[in-house]
Structure formats: structure tokens, C-alpha cells
């Protein structure tokens, strides 16, 4: 409304499309991170990247190959759906990491310019104005821009967490079953979850799979978008360590599973903006996948034409370098040490009247539910008075990206967060 008011009575305002009038740049993660870059002199726990001593964690295969590209690995256009070699390598990696993928009966992954683009293209293909999509509450702030503002869809937020230690399976079940009455369910599952940093336990994963199977067996068509941006960053033994896509992709003819993943977080190469979009359904054959991929290629061609060539070749070099897996294991252990330090700190603050940590066991983040105070006011206080950058999501949730904070800073940072919250009550 503010932007449209500014543009009112100008040629731009008169020419805006319906989508153009809906679009805006939210005061979300990106805007708050920009503020933190200026003022977060103690700890910047805003952005979803992994740092150590103020330097990004980087694989040797990335740093060493940046200057060794051949001309055709840099300046030549890549095919619309991506370089076939990297597509095949990534498909093999999906099957290796997810042994439940039935006989590899999934599509050949298509390359897209980042996970955000993959989610947006999926919305273009499967979401019309007025239709609904189920997302977690809280959720990544970009879902609203993609599903609601770009596509005009209704977002059905569902409290994925309750006062217990894990998922609110009852609430998820109610929302899914209610949506199924329309004949179709569209849901996005983001695990490890941004912003909570939670991945289902093995029992919870089986519950979600059973729920989706039941809905399909009762006659509803189900689209499940698996946002696997933080796949593999697991810190507890009881976590379900495959993507839910692995089982959903062959579960039932009425279920279409879409896996959106990539090296962005898995290979610690955030700025490459390279990701993959893969389809899976029990009822689909190679010819169906080929037709659906061509539709996806239409979305890619009509927006960015093709993804970055050098980023794809760098992904190939990274995935085929023998040093990559041990380096990734070292980085995961570094993140796990930070996770354990935070887990111990919040364990020593049980039943806090203001800050209630959401369940967390994986990924880059943990989040607090703020009781009796506004999370945006808390964020501003932390940044302006203490030099600590965090992210507020709505009025009730505060996200802390410990991936970018050194372990030794964690006790001080969390003491300040708790003390500042208490001062606002």
C-alpha cells in the first residue's frame, strides 16, 4: 500500500500489473540483515551462511578451481535445464543420500538459479490465484512473496510446533484434512526448518508420510514441495535423515513430490545461486517427466533463460573432488558444537516466562517464541544497544542464525538476548 501510494498519479502507477501492485520488498530477513551489517559489531546472527572467524566456510574444490576454468566453462550459455553432467551427478547424489528413493524412479533434476527460484517456478506450475498452500507457522518470510504476492494464492499457516518437544502433528493433520475437502492439497515441507532449525524424528516422519498417504487414498491429489535447502545438517541420532521426498516420490499415484535442493548450503557455496528441481510420483513414467521438465524449462526460459554456466561447472568440480566430503564433515562438526552449546544454555533457562525456544535439532538456526513482548522491538534493542543482529519474524518470533557466530561468543550473546527480553517486560 505504501509503495502503491508513492507511485499513484505517475505513469508507473497507472501501468502496474496486478502482480506489480502486489509486489513489495519486505522488512524481512534481507532487510534486517542489511541493518545488522552496519550495527552488529558483537555478533551477526542474521543470515543463513556459515562463518568461522568472520570468514565463510569454503571447500578447497571451490577456492582452487575459481581461476582454472576453461573458456567454455565460463562464457558459453548453459542449456535451459542445465548441463547434463551436473544434472546426472546430482541425481546420483540424491539417490545415494536417500536410499529409499525407489529404483531411482525420479526425474532428471533440472538446474535452477537458486532454491528460491525453484520454489517460485513450482508455484508457477501448480498454484493459481485463489488456491491454497499449507506452510508452517513460523516460516521463511519469502514464502509469502512467492505464493501470495506473486501467485495470488491463499497461505494456510499451521502451527507446526506446540509446547512439546517436537511437531504439532494434530494441528498439521487437521489443516491437511480440511484442505483435502477441496479435492487437492498443496503443502510445502521445509526440513531442517527455517527459522526453527527442526527436522522430524523418525517417528514424526512416518506420521507425516502416513498422513499424506491417507489423504491420497481417500481421493485427494497432493502436491508436496520439499524445500531441502539445509539437507544433511543433522545433530541428533533420532532425526529422520532422508528427505521426505525419498518416500513420497513413490508413495501413491495421487501424490506429486517436488524436491528443491542444491549445493547452496550442502556444499557451502551460497553465492553460486545454483539449485536443482526434481519431480517424483508413483504414477509417472519417463515420458511424463520429460513433458513436465519441458514445462519447467518454459518457466526458466521466460525468466532467466538459463542458469549460470561457471557455477554449474564449479558444482561438478566440488561434487567430484575427494577432499569435499571430509571437509564438509569438519564443517558440520563445527556447526554441531555451536548447536550443543546453545542447547545447553537454553536447557539451563527452563520455563522462561518470555522466551520459549522452538524445538531445534538441525540446520543453521534456532528461534524463540516471544511471550508478552514484540519480537521486532526485541530485535531493534539487541541491535541498537548491544550490537547483536537477529531476525524478527512477525511479532512473536525471533530467529538466531548460530551458523554465523563463533562458539565462544554464544554464551555472551544468549545472556544478552535473555536479559534484553526481560528488560522489555
pLDDT tens digits, the chain, 425 residues: what are they?
888 887 787 777 777 767 678 867 677 777 788 888 888 889 888 878 888 888 888 888 878 877 788 888 888 889 999 999 999 999 999 999 999 997 778 999 999 999 999 999 999 999 999 999 999 999 999 999 999 999 999 999 999 998 778 999 999 999 999 999 999 999 999 999 999 999 999 999 999 999 999 999 999 999 999 999 999 999 999 999 999 999 999 999 999 999 999 998 999 998 899 999 999 999 888 889 998 999 999 999 989 989 999 999 999 999 999 999 999 999 999 999 999 999 999 999 999 999 999 999 999 999 999 999 999 999 999 999 999 999 999 899 999 999 999 999 999 999 999 999 999 98
C-alpha cell at 56: 565463510
Confirm if 115 and 227 have CB atoms less than 8 A apart: yes
pTM of the model: 0.90
DSSP for 58-113 reads --HHHHHHTT---GGGTTSPPPTT--HHHHHHHHHHHHHH-TTSGGG-SPPPEEES
Using a 10 angstrom Cβ sphere, with 0-12 exposed, 13-18 middle and 19 or more buried, the burial of residue 146 is buried
Domains of the chain: 16-57+325-423 (3.90.1150.10), 76-319 (3.40.640.10)
Percent helix, strand and coil across the chain, each rounded to 5?
A: 45, 15, 35
C-alpha cell at 378: 526485541
Confirm if 195 and 367 have CB atoms less than 8 A apart: yes
> What's the rounded Cα separation, in Å, for the pair 171 and 175?
6
Amino acid at each position: 500500500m505504501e509503495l502503491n501510494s508513492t507511485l499513484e498519479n505517475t505513469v508507473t502507477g497507472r501501468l502496474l500489473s496486478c502482480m506489480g501492485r502486489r509486489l513489495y520488498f519486505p522488512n524481512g530477513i534481507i532487510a534486517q540483515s542489511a541493518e545488522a551489517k552496519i550495527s552488529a559489531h558483537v555478533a551477526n546472527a542474521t543470515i543463513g551462511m556459515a562463518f568461522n572467524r568472520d570468514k565463510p566456510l569454503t571447500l578447497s574444490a571451490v577456492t582452487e578451481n575459481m581461476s582454472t576454468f576453461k573458456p567454455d566453462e565460463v562464457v558459453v550459455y548453459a542449456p535451459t535445464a542445465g548441463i547434463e553432467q551436473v544434472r546426472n551427478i546430482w541425481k546420483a547424489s540424491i539417490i545415494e543420500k536417500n536410499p529409499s528413493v525407489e529404483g531411482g524412479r525420479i526425474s532428471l533434476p533440472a538446474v535452477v538459479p537458486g532454491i528460491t527460484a525453484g520454489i517460485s517456478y513450482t508455484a508457477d506450475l501448480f498454484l493459481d490465484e485463489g488456491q491454497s498452500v499449507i506452510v508452517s507457522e513460523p516460516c521463511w518470510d519469502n514464502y509469502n512473496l512467492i505464493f501470495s504476492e506473486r501467485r495470488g494464492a491463499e497461505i494456510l499457516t499451521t502451527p507446526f510446533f506446540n509446547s512439546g518437544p517436537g511437531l504439532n502433528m494434530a494441528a498439521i493433520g487437521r489443516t491437511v484434512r480440511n484442505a483435502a475437502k477441496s479435492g487437492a492439497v498443496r503443502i510445502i515441507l521445509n526440513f531442517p526448518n527455517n527459522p526453527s532449525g527442526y527436522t522430524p524424528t523418525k517417528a514424526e516422519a512416518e506420521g507425516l508420510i502416513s498422513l499424506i498417504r491417507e489423504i491420497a487414498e481417500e481421493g485427494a491429489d497432493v502436491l508436496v514441495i520439499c524445500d531441502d535447502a539445509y539437507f544433511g545438517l543433522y545433530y541428533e541420532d533420532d532425526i529422520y535423515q532422508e528427505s521426505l521426498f525419498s518416500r513420497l516420490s513413490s508413495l501413491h499415484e495421487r501424490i506429486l513430490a517436488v524436491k528443491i535442493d542444491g549445493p547452496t548450503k550442502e556444499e557451502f557455496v551460497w553465492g553460486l545461486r545454483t539449485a536443482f528441481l526434481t519431480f517424483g510420483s508413483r504414477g509417472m513414467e519417463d515420458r511424463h517427466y520429460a513433458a513436465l521438465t519441458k514445462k519447467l524449462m518454459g518457466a526458466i526460459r521466460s525468466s532467466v533463460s538459463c542458469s549460470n554456466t561457471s557455477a554449474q561447472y564449479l558444482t561438478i568440480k566440488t561434487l567430484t573432488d575427494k577432499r569435499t566430503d571430509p571437509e564438509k564433515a569438519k564443517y558440520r562438526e563445527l556447526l554441531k558444537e555451536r548447536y550443543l552449546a546453545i542447547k545447553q544454555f537454553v536447557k539451563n533457562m527452563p520455563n522462561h516466562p518470555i522466551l520459549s525456544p522452538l524445538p531445534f535439532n538441525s540446520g543453521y538456526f534456532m528461534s524463540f517464541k516471544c511471550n508478552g513482548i514484540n519480537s521486532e522491538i526485541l530485535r531493534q534493542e539487541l541491535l541498537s544497544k548491544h550490537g547483536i543482529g537477529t531476525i524478527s519474524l512477525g511479532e512473536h518470533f525471533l530467529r538466531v542464525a548460530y551458523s554465523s557466530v563463533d562458539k565462544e561468543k554464544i554464551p555472551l550473546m544468549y545472556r544478552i538476548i535473555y536479559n534484553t527480553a526481560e528488560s522489555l517486560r
